[in-house]
Structure 1
Amino acid sequence: MDEIGYNHRHDHNFCIDRPNGMNSWLMLIVKTPAHFRVDGKEIRTSAHSFIIYTPYTPQYYYPATNEYFDDWMHFFPDEKEQKLMEELDIPFNRPVNIADITDMSAMVRSMCFEHYSSNPFRQQSIDLYFQLLILKLSEKLRKKEEQHERPEGLYFEKLLWIRQSIYRWPSRNYSIDDMAKELSLSRSRFQHLYTETFGVSVNKDVISSRLNKAAELLKTTDLSVKEVGIRVGYDNTSYFVKLFGSIYGLTPLQFKQAEGK
């Protein structure tokens, strides 16, 4: 692993243009919609996508909305790691949507921690995380193919849009009945199909999206805990503090202080 970054934010002016690529491999886990140029063609990818650039491949991408978030790593895979990616048929040099990058992003966060730590086994830990990351990536690609092959796959694009909306606009008041109605499904059928498709319930996704946004606001703004809670849809500050603590292990104020804001 050469360099790695977790949850980096850029504004709408961000643009990467490397006509000759780089001497290293590059993996991006893209959290917001973005534009990529591949073989001279513009491709707009949705949130929850990834791309792996091989060395010396042209790189050109920029935000499709007002801001851009991603995880990234420059790396030099050894022969064993390259063979693993080939055996799992991991696609290179084109963006691919995988519906859910949450667990993959968590792995990158752990890799980032190890990379910048002084742990004696940090390199071995990073190598294991990387192999796990590739395995999980392959699982998601296969699951995506299976979903399109099943009759339920007819709902996949609409479900994906609902999920992307949840993460894009976390403060909205999401009604399960309204979402089910949008797909012409019963409430129970919608919830079952959503969980089956993404491996997590719609309610948990709403909570995750809100707390992820809350963590971002706590790290990057001077908003008070109460203001952050309201921004992400929680008018009850006590409930917000309790919920945040159950996920992050810290109160919002402790988290804010730990991040130096």
Structure 2
Amino acid sequence: MKINRILLNCRRNTALGGEMGADPVLLFFRSPVAYMDGGAWKQTSKPSAALLTSGYKQSFRPLNGKSMRYDIVSFKTSAADRQYISSMNLTQDIPVELEDDFVIASALRSMKSQSMHRGRHFSEFMELSMRIIFIALSDITDAPEIDPKEKIPRYADLRKVREAIYEDPTADWSVEETCEDLQISRTYFHRIYLEAFGVSFKQDIIESRLIHASELLKNTDLSVTAISETCGYDNESYFMRQFKQHKGCTPTEYRRRAKNED
């Protein structure tokens, strides 16, 4: 399996579809979208993923006048790859709604990070990451539908908190205020948040801010100091250490690589 391109945090206000080319594509929609199925327009209400087969002419549209937010991976497959995908019994060409998008989102972020500094095992890493995504999608297809609220207390409330963190990463997020809003104790909040998403409240805050920092480094001329402050860091050195742990390179090096890639 060869990865042609991987783009994260894309936004657009117009339909997406015909320009994607002939190779298979994986789309990870962070926002609800409308799509055509059986001659009728349908729409998602949650984050979703769509595996598009080679040459498929699907079209996706944003909803409610908001931008469509998505990640995209285009790849080439061998006969063995196609046999593997077929064996996974994956839903193809229409979006699959995700109750928890952590596995897929994390795999895509790791793939993007690896693409910025290709190591000796780059191809193997990318193929294994795609297989992890396929496994996650296959589990969703095969699993019986269970309302997450039946498994995890306050799941809907926790989901709203998490979505808000990624929508507004520069906000002054406070566990005390969040627990007060939810009217639960800190200990209980930390336990069910970790149970719901596999990461802590603090880890999601850090992750959201570093993603935002990456976008600012790539798309603006703001200094590293200004970006550090914008993303809520009082200590620039601490920001740089966290960024390097997250991306595998310094903010300055990330900016240089991003410009070279463009």
Deviates more, 1:206-215 or 1:170-179: 170-179
Contact map agreement 2:26 2:51 (CA 8 A) in 1? yes
User: How far 1:108 moved relative to its partner?
Assistant: 3.7
> Aligned equivalents of 2:202 and 2:235: distance in 1?
18
- Cα distance change of structure 1 residues 73 and 110 upon mapping to structure 2, 3 Å threshold: farther
Q: How does 1:5-16 map to 2 (within 5 A)?
A: 5-16=5-16
> Aligned equivalents of 2:249 and 2:44: distance in 1?
37
The one of 80, 84, 93 aligned to 1:81: 84
Q: How does 1:209-228 map to 2 (within 5 A)?
A: 209-228=208-227
State the partner residue of 1:109. 112
- Cα displacement string for residues 206-227 of structure 1 (whole angstroms, at most 9, x for unaligned residues): 0011011101211221111122
State the partner residue of 1:94. 95
Amino acid at match of 1:251: T
Contact map agreement 1:147 1:197 (CA 8 A) in 2? no
- Cα distance change of structure 1 residues 209 and 10 upon mapping to structure 2, 3 Å threshold: closer
Amino acid at match of 2:204: D
Q: How does 1:47-86 map to 2 (within 5 A)?
A: 47=47, 49-55=48-54, 57-64=56-63, 65-66=66-67, 68-76=69-77, 78=79, 79-86=82-89
> Aligned equivalents of 2:12 and 2:123: distance in 1?
35
State the partner residue of 2:33. 35
User: How far 1:168 moved relative to its partner?
Assistant: 1.5
> Aligned equivalents of 1:208 and 1:200: distance in 2?
10
* TM-score using structure 1 length: 0.77
Contact map agreement 2:12 2:69 (CA 8 A) in 1? yes
Percent of residue pairs bearing the same amino acid type: 23
- Cα distance change of structure 1 residues 188 and 38 upon mapping to structure 2, 3 Å threshold: farther
- Cα distance change of structure 1 residues 3 and 16 upon mapping to structure 2, 3 Å threshold: farther
Structure 2: state its 5+ residue gaps: none
State the partner residue of 2:171. 172
Contact map agreement 1:29 1:50 (CA 8 A) in 2? yes
- Cα distance change of structure 1 residues 37 and 244 upon mapping to structure 2, 3 Å threshold: same
Contact map agreement 1:244 1:252 (CA 8 A) in 2? yes
State the partner residue of 1:241. 240
User: How many positions carry a matched residue from both structures?
Assistant: 251
- Cα distance change of structure 1 residues 37 and 249 upon mapping to structure 2, 3 Å threshold: closer
Structure 1: state its 5+ residue gaps: none
- Cα distance change of structure 1 residues 8 and 118 upon mapping to structure 2, 3 Å threshold: same
> Aligned equivalents of 2:227 and 2:136: distance in 1?
33
Amino acid at match of 1:237: E
Q: What's the RMSD between the two structures over aligned residues?
A: 3.5
Amino acid at match of 2:174: S
User: How far 1:22 moved relative to its partner?
Assistant: 6.7
> Aligned equivalents of 2:55 and 2:259: distance in 1?
38
Amino acid at match of 2:130: F
> Aligned equivalents of 2:116 and 2:228: distance in 1?
27
